[in-house]
């Protein structure tokens, strides 16, 4: 009687450990596009090393120009810059960072007053 129970327990543990779990992602909303916003994503990673693969998705709509930049350290803003124009925004990008395990995101309006943006990040 014990052997089937042990075998069943081992199968259950193996399935649990091998079952692919969805990695958490950082999600940030910008509801007031007339003001600058700063975000730090350290949620979507369980890594603590110097190299990370990063996915960034930016969606929404704005009524004028704006800039979104992100970097692996706050003093590195400008490494990845998106010049947003009036209208719908739908950007997806992937990059490798070789320093840090967080993403520092900066939104700067360039005349935008109305709109809404959503930024999703995922660090592998």
pLDDT of residue 93: 87
Strand partners, 111: 65
| Residue 33 within a domain | yes
Name the domain count of the chain.
1
pLDDT of residue 89: 94
Return per-residue pLDDT of the chain as tens, 124 residues.
Answer: 567 777 777 776 766 666 655 556 788 999 999 999 988 877 555 555 566 677 889 999 999 999 998 877 666 655 688 899 999 999 998 877 666 667 788 899 999 999 999 999 887 7
pLDDT of residue 90: 95
| Residue 31 within a domain | yes
The pTM of this model reads 0.71
| Residue 9 within a domain | no
| Residue 67 within a domain | yes
Q: Cβ distance 77 to 108 under 8 Å?
A: no
**Cβ contacts of residue 43 below 8 Å, gap of 6+?**
24, 25, 26
| Residue 15 within a domain | no
- By residue range, what is the domain housing residue 104? 25-123
Got the DSSP string for 8-64? HHHHHHHHHHHSPPPPP-EEEEES-TTS-EEEEE-SS----SS-EEEEEEEEEEESS
- CATH number of residue 39's parent domain: 2.60.120.380
């Amino acid at each position: 009687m014990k052997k089937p129970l042990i075998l069943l327990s081992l199968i259950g543990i193996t399935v649990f450990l091998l079952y692919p779990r969805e990695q958490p992602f950082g999600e940030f909303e910008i509801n007031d596009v007339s003001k600058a916003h700063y975000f730090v994503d350290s949620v979507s990673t369980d890594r603590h090393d110097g190299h990370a693969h990063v996915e960034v998705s930016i969606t929404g709509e704005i009524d004028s120009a704006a800039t979104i930049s992100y970097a692996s350290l706050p003093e590195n803003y400008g490494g990845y810059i998106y010049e947003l124009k009036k209208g719908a925004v739908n950007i997806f990008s992937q990059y490798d960072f070789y320093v840090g395990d967080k993403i520092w995101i900066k939104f700067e309006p360039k005349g935008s007053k109305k709109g809404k943006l959503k930024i999703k990040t995922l660090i592998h």
